[in-house]
Amino acid sequence: MTFSALCGVHDAAREAACLRLKRLIEERGIQRVRLAWCDAHGLLRGKTLMPHAALRALRDGVGMVGTLMLKDTADKTAWKVFEPGGTDDLPGFAGAANLLLLPDPESFVELPWAPGTGWLRCQPWHADGQPVDFDSRRVLQHALATLAREGLGFKTGLEVEFHIYRITDTTPQLDPQRAAWPGEPPAMQMVHPGYQLQGEAMIDLADEPLRIVERTALGLGLPLQSLEIELGPSQVEAVFDATDALTAADQMVQLRNGVKQALRRAGYHATFMCRPPFPNIMSSGWHLHQSVVELATGRNVFARDEPLVGSTPQDAQHTLSKTGAHWLAGLLAHARAITPLCTPTVNGFGRFRPNALAPQAILWGRDNRGAMLRVVGNAGDAATRIENRLGEPAANPYLCMAGQIHAGLDGLKRALLPPTGTEAPYAEGAERIPTNLGDALAALRADPAMVQGLGESVVNHFCRIKQQELDRHAAAEDKADFERREYFARY
For the stretch 171-213, pLDDT in tens is 999 999 999 999 999 999 999 999 998 999 999 999 999 999 9
What is the distance between the alpha carbons of residues 293 and 295, in angstroms, rounded to a whole number?
6
Domain harbouring 123, CATH code: 3.10.20.70
Instruction: For residues 203 and 110, state if they share a domain.
Output: no
Q: 115: left (phi > 0), else alpha (psi -120 to 50), else beta?
A: beta
The answer to whether the beta carbons of residues 86 and 80 sit under 8 Å apart is: yes
Query: Which DSSP letter does residue 80 get?
Result: -
Q: Residue 269 — pLDDT band, cuts 50, 70, 90?
A: very high
The average pLDDT across 277-306 equals 96
Beta strands 117-125 and 32-38 are parallel
User: Is residue 145, in this structure, part of any structural domain at all?
Assistant: no
pLDDT tens digits, residue range 351-395?
Answer: 998 888 899 999 999 989 999 999 999 999 999 999 999 999 999
- In this prediction, residue 462 carries a pLDDT of 98
Q: Is residue 83 part of a domain?
A: no
- Shared domain for 332 and 261, answered yes or no, is yes
CATH of the domain at 301: 3.30.590.10
pLDDT for 356 = 82
3-class DSSP assignment, residue 371: coil
Same-domain status, 163 and 306: yes
Whether the predicted pLDDT of 325 surpasses 90? yes
Closest CA to 234 of 261, 262, 273: 273
Range of the domain at 290: 153-477+483-487
Amino acid found at 369: R
Supply the pLDDT for residue 106: 98
120 shares a domain with 219: no
Q: Quick check: bond before 182 cis, omega within 30?
A: yes
How far CA 411 is from CA of 57, 193, 195, in Å, comes to 42, 44, 40
In eight-state DSSP terms, residue 433 is P
Co-location of 171 and 216 in the same domain: yes
Is residue 122 domain-shared with residue 164, that is, in the same domain? no
Return the pLDDT at 432: 96
Q: Are 246 and 128 in contact (CB under 8 A)?
A: no
Question: For strand 44-49 and strand 32-38, is the pairing parallel, antiparallel, or unpaired?
Answer: antiparallel
Other Cβ atoms less than 10 A from the Cβ of 312: the count is 11
Q: pLDDT, tens digit, for every residue of 413-471?
A: 999 999 999 999 999 999 999 999 999 999 999 999 999 999 999 999 999 999 999 99
Tell me the DSSP string of 259-321: HHHHHHHTTEEEE--SS-SSTT-----EEEEEEEEETTT--BTT--SSPPTT--TTSHHHHS-
Query: What is the structure's pLDDT at 355?
Result: 84
Q: How many domains does the chain have?
A: 2
Residue 259 CA to chain centroid, in angstroms?
15
Residue 444 lies in a domain: yes
Integer Cα distance of 164 and 387 in angstroms: 25
181 within domain boundaries: yes
pLDDT at 125: 97
Same domain as 176, residue 42: no
Do 389 and 445 fall into the same domain?
yes
- Whether residues 60 and 179 share a domain: the answer is no
**pLDDT above 70 as % of the chain:** 100
pLDDT tens digits, residue range 242-255? 999 999 999 999 99
Q: Is 90 exceeded by the pLDDT of residue 306?
A: yes
From residue 27, alpha-carbon distances to 36, 108, 190, 207, 429 in Å are 22, 14, 42, 34, 64
Classify residue 168: in a domain, yes or no. yes
pTM assigned to the model:
0.97
Q: Could you tell me if 297 and 390 lie in one domain? A: yes
Report yes or no on 415 lying in a domain. yes
pLDDT of residue 357: 86
Q: Residues 204-224: pLDDT tens digits?
A: 999 999 999 999 999 999 999
Asked, for residue 4, whether it belongs to a domain, the answer is no
Percent of the chain with pLDDT over 90: 97
Average pLDDT, the chain: 96
In order of 273, 283, 312, 404, the CA distances from 392 in angstroms are: 8, 9, 32, 14
Which DSSP category does 378 fall into? -
Which one, of 156, 253, 246, 234, lies nearest residue 192 by Cα?
Answer: 234
* Whether residues 52 and 170 fall in one domain: no
Q: Which helix (H) or strand (E) holds 206?
A: none
Predicted confidence (pLDDT) per residue in 144-179, tens digit? 999 999 999 999 989 999 999 999 999 999 999 999
Q: Is residue 424 part of a domain?
A: yes
Close Cβ partners of 295 (under 8 Å, ≥ 6 residues apart): 148, 151, 152, 153
pLDDT given at position 354: 86
Within this chain, do residues 384 and 461 fall inside the same structural domain, yes or no? Answer: yes
Q: Check residue 397 and give its pLDDT.
A: 98
Cα atoms in the 13 Å half-sphere on the side-chain side of 236: 30
